[in-house]
A and B are shown apart, each in its own frame.
Chain A
Amino acid sequence: MYAQQVDTGSKGLKSLDEMSPEERHFQEKVDGEVRIEPKNWMPDGYRKTLIRQISQHAHSEIVGMLPEGNWLTRAPSLKRKLQLMAKIQDEAGHGLYLYSAMETLGADRDEEIEKLHRGEVKFSSIFTYPTLTWADMGAIGWLVDGAAIVNQVPLQRCSYGPYARAMIRVCKEESFHQRQGYEILLTMMREGTDEQKEMVQDAINRFWWPSLMMFGPSDENSPNSAQSMAWKIKRHGNDELRQRFLDQTVPQLEFLGCTAPDPDLKWNEETGHYDFGEINWQEFFDVLKGHSPCGIERIQQRKKAIDDGQWVRDAAVAYAEKKQANNAA
């Protein structure tokens, strides 16, 4: 997802009896659906896991602005430019909500961003793919934001209060993103030339599998996942969320009059779900390791943006100091 393969440091789950009194009190609160707040005692592993997950999530929101920024000046009309700009601004906002939530755990924002730039922490695999045509803006809004919503809705009930509250605001805004993306594709399919319709199908072909990969590999036997579930950071398995996304997306795909690049995709009467083909997990792991079309470029762009903006931040501080000195005088 936006945070993939988050390490919890767990080797296996502790039972209540094996826990220290503090840990037990904490776990009982979590089990009783009482939210954990910044000043409450929490296990070190819980704090570290959340910092890893929220920082990765925040980085993804911020890096996710880049593939869309690529089309800002070339959006086909003023209306589309404004809509895309509004979506990108939302992503910046989501990143900031999340960095704030992360800071309540004692993490330093600058330091976490430095880690991203040094390649020590990741951002979502989905934002390493290039955006080649305008139809990609539609496919990203519809598929990528659609997958993000499926993941983020349960995060609104995450055991950590500040993260859960950030997610509530994010989810409210995310549905505009998905609808504007789908509307881009629908307009192209209904009013476009043959070439534009082909662009839609091509964008879907390229973003289909990466969107399904966003949920991460099956985590049925993963100790990290079991720990995240016990801490109620995570509420559903990766496969379950992927299936939920697929089941809601296929009818929308058919309504568009497009197809998925998956010959095995078909409705299963017995299970009441769509069956789908094998996911190429090697591609996913390669992308996470940095072997991706745009992974390195994205980080360079982020670093450049921070470096180039240094004078603005310096000027803001100088101005604030000058004003304060004038007030004092």
Chain B
Amino acid sequence: MADWTLFEVFVRSKHGLNHKHVGSVHAADATMALENARELYTRRSEGVSLWVVPAEQITASAGDEKEPFFDPADDKVYRHASFYKLPPEVDQM
């Protein structure tokens, strides 16, 4: 099995929702990966749509969860609605 490709599996659980990563499967090709993923991750109607992606095709941000990569977002509190204080009369906004 070492020569089989590792595929990451994404399931859309209901129409209207986004696909979510659920795990991985090994398979000889993408068609087999889809079938294996169906057997492994949707035995109880957990999905209406499946994606399989070769794991090596995924580019991920590396390292720890609190890495400098995400720092630029930390000092921009004005991007949040709660930053803007409004009088109670119009605070429903």
Q: Which residue of B lies closest to A97 (CB)?
A: B23
Per the bound structure, the CA–CA distance linking A317 and B3 in Å amounts to 9
Partner of A40, one of B22, B26, B28, B64: B64
In A27-49, the 8 Å CB interface with B consists of 34, 37, 39-41
B63 adjacent to chain A (CB < 8 Å):
yes
Q: Verify A39–B1 contact, CB threshold 8 A.
A: no
Report B1 CB to chain A, min CB distance, Å.
6
Per the bound structure, the CA–CA distance linking A100 and B2 in Å amounts to 13
Q: Which residue of A lies closest to B6 (CB)?
A: A103
Per the bound structure, the CA–CA distance linking A290 and B93 in Å amounts to 70
Report B58 CB to chain A, min CB distance, Å.
12
A110 adjacent to chain B (CB < 8 Å):
yes
Partner of B62, one of A39, A93, A319: A39
Per the bound structure, the CA–CA distance linking A317 and B64 in Å amounts to 37
B22, B27, B65 — most chain A CB neighbours (10 Å): B65
Interface size grouping (class) on chain B: 20 to 34
Report A202 CB to chain B, min CB distance, Å.
33
A301 adjacent to chain B (CB < 8 Å):
no
Per the bound structure, the CA–CA distance linking A313 and B28 in Å amounts to 8
Known: A89-B43, A316-B27, A323-B29. 14 other contacts (CB 8 A): A39-B60, A96-B40, A97-B23, A97-B40, A100-B24, A100-B25, A103-B24, A109-B26, A110-B1, A316-B28, A316-B29, A317-B3, A320-B28, A324-B29
26 A-B contact pairs sorted by A residue (CB < 8 Å): A37-B65, A39-B60, A39-B63, A40-B63, A40-B65, A86-B43, A90-B43, A93-B43, A96-B25, A97-B23, A100-B23, A100-B24, A103-B6, A109-B1, A165-B23, A166-B23, A169-B22, A169-B23, A313-B1, A313-B4, A316-B32, A317-B4, A320-B28, A320-B29, A320-B32, A324-B29
